[in-house]
Structure 1
Amino acid sequence: MKKTLIFGLLLLASYLADAQKPLRLAVAGVSHGHVPWILNRKDKKDIELVGVAEPDKELSARYAARYKLDPKLFHTDLGRMLDEVKPEAVVAFGSIYQHLAVVEACAPRGIHVMVEKPLSYRLDHAKRMVELAEKNHIYLLTNYETSWYPSIEKAFQLVADSNFVGKLRKVVVHTGHEGPKEIGVGKEFFDWLTDPVQNGGGALIDFGCYGANLMTYFTKGEKPLSVTAITRQFKPEIYPKVDDEATIIVEYPSSQCIIQASWNWPFGRKDMEVYGDKGYIITDNNTDYRLRNRTHPERRTKVSKEALGVYDDPFAYFHDVIRGKIELRPYDLYSPINNLTAVQILDAARQSAKTGKTVTL
């Protein structure tokens, strides 16, 4: 009995020590405009940056100088870097098309992966990525800004865990901004973001993915019945190869989602309207929301990340998933199953916009 107790305590001590160790993290690609977040994340102790793979040497040198990073961290070949520095996890900050190649390199090596939204824009790519993750027992996460919003999580709780709005009937998601050029994204980001191969489309992919991800969460993984989409080019002189405006209608057995994605709005916005048969919730931004039902008049309120335990740092979230502090549900915002469904919606939306027909799933 005493030996068993001692052995158990040793195992617990070992587990706690591993849980406290910094996560050995590498970066695949630096052409995404959000990569500075991880390159400049030096004040946190949960992550240790051990390598960066980027074939563009000039771009690597620029980032190394800007963030005072050791040039030896940078490599031109992803596979070679993985074998040399042996990270536990990789975050992908290249084009969306390159996500599959990152998972193909990492999964057989047992390296966890987090990509920037969306998981992919091609259903065949997404299926292959999830298949590789499951086969090799790695985590495959997708990071969305709206996953950090406490207002979104509060709305989900009011829909899923209470009867405040009643039966879910309609969700309207607005996501967009003035346009990549108009907000001043870097050249390397702009080049692939407006490329029909590297990004798969324009506003439809860049912002339509938010609504697909959120609706999958709010329906707890319910599969859609059909997708109808219309895209426009209001600024062909700036975005000649891709759409800059998209409206997507996703039908479910007892509800509907309307996704409005735009590179044309006068101001950036990410907000959502959730309607049930008894009430509604409207998230105005990341913390503020409005709600009303048949027994409660409309009221405005605010919620904090501390109140709900929402992570506003995706790398801390990634760390805690890998260390076993968080257990992902299949429909969670970061989860591969949720994001596989989101890609199915995006893939169907691209097909619908191209053919002018509703796509039945």
Structure 2
Amino acid sequence: MRLLLSIFLLLSLHIQAQPVKVAVAGISHGHSGWILGRANKGDIELAGIYEPDTALIRQTVRRYKLPEKLFYTNLNTMLDAVKPEAVLAFGSVYSHLEVVEACAPRGIHVMVEKPMATTLAQALRMDSLATKHNIRLLTNYETSWYPSVAKTFQLVQDSAFAGTIRKVVIHDGHQGPKEIGCSPEFLAWLTDPVLNGGGALIDFGCYGANIMTTLMKGQKPLAVTAVTRQYKPSVYPKVDDDATIIVDYADAQCIIQASWNWPFNRKDMEVYGDKGYIFAPDAKTLTTRNSTKNEAQTRKVTAADIKVFEDPFVYLAAVVRGKETIPPYGVYSQENNLMVVRILEAARESARSGKTVEIK
């Protein structure tokens, strides 16, 4: 019995030490370079890449100097050939469901780029498949890696500092995907109302919904009110390029300003409680003040100050290996990102109808 236990422990340790075998499903997303160009750190093994666009495959082989044998033009063929432990979805938001439908029955974990899905029906299907087949389904946001965001969560958890949240204002966006030089392959679906689900409302509104859901510990909003604009219809004729979303809770409110019209890139937030405030103007800066302080204090925050994974693939590997458990309503979690899609769908309907939409 002791011998069997020893063998089991040695086998477990061996598995823990092995790099996580991952595959990529789709590479048309501009963020796919995060994994394609990632230096080999010994924690991730890139085993296969699915992409139906052969011209994009040739371009990617040249750009990242990757072996052609890594690439497949059929998703199921790739999954059966390389048998990855996890798949990273870097295609359109609409394609996320297809990836989960292929991976979940095979027991393959999935990380999709934000947001989780284009519609609530898609998100519910993905959530159901992940739960049924006991896989981890993560949604990746750049702000999930920010030390300033992690520190804000910690300060809010300590109610003595900011008190009860009353208002949160979140700004996300940039000058516009065409203006900043996104590739034609990326623009083709990012500016499509079906493949992306919308424009700036979806692309950047999801960040605020994701962070607010964590701040509110998964509390369901009462209602959502949204207004969208097309300031550049000649550039983005099919989708909105600016959105203001008001998410109302029983005792708090979140104002999300998502835009492809900012004069520069921004991802920042302001959290106001009944005892103080927390401003996070960038990834590593916080300005705080509470009722016991006469002056606001600004400081730098780094990953060394607070536990945060600044590399999403390191986090994914830790989750797959069982070293990390995704907390309920954590920024990567299924629960959180299902709520994000609920909020976005309500916002889209509110903008269409001109009415406040209740979250049922």
TM-score after normalising by structure 1: 0.98
Gaps of 5+ in 2: none
Q: How far apart are residue 281 of structure 1 and its match?
A: 0.2
1:326 corresponds to:
324
Instruction: Name the SS of the counterpart of 2:22 in structure 1.
Output: strand
1:60 corresponds to:
57
Q: Does 1:265 align with 2:230?
A: no
Q: Does 1:359 align with 2:357?
A: yes
User: 2: CA distance between counterparts of 1:286 and 1:342?
Assistant: 21
2:30 corresponds to:
33
AA partner of residue 54 (structure 2): K
Return the match for 2:297 from 296, 299, 303: 299
1:226 corresponds to:
223
Q: How does 1:88-127 map to 2 (within 5 A)?
A: 88-127=85-124
User: 2: CA distance between counterparts of 1:42 and 1:104?
Assistant: 30
Q: Name the stretch that deviates more: 189-198 or 305-314.
A: 305-314
User: 2: CA distance between counterparts of 1:310 and 1:88?
Assistant: 23
User: 2: CA distance between counterparts of 1:309 and 1:167?
Assistant: 23
Gaps of 5+ in 1: none
1:335 corresponds to:
333
Q: How far apart are residue 12 of structure 1 and its match?
A: 2.5
AA partner of residue 52 (structure 1): I
Q: How does 1:168-247 map to 2 (within 5 A)?
A: 168-247=165-244
> Is contact 2:118–2:194 with CA below 8 Å preserved after alignment?
no
Instruction: Name the SS of the counterpart of 1:347 in structure 2.
Output: helix
Aligned residues: 358
Q: How far apart are residue 8 of structure 1 and its match?
A: 3.5
Instruction: Name the SS of the counterpart of 1:52 in structure 2.
Output: strand
User: 2: CA distance between counterparts of 1:43 and 1:137?
Assistant: 29
**1:244-269, CA deviations, whole angstroms, 9 ceiling, x for partnerless residues?**
00000001111110000000010110
AA partner of residue 170 (structure 1): K
Instruction: Name the SS of the counterpart of 1:182 in structure 2.
Output: coil
Return the match for 1:134 from 131, 134, 139: 131
> Is contact 2:118–2:195 with CA below 8 Å preserved after alignment?
no
2:12 corresponds to:
15
Q: Name the stretch that deviates more: 238-247 or 152-161.
A: 152-161
1:154 corresponds to:
151
RMSD: 0.9
1:347 corresponds to:
345
Aligned-pair identity in percent equals 61
User: 1: CA distance between counterparts of 2:167 and 2:13?
Assistant: 45
Q: How does 1:46-57 map to 2 (within 5 A)?
A: 46-57=43-54
Return the match for 2:312 from 298, 308, 314: 314
User: 2: CA distance between counterparts of 1:188 and 1:42?
Assistant: 24
TM-score after normalising by structure 2: 0.98
AA partner of residue 66 (structure 1): R
User: 2: CA distance between counterparts of 1:135 and 1:22?
Assistant: 26
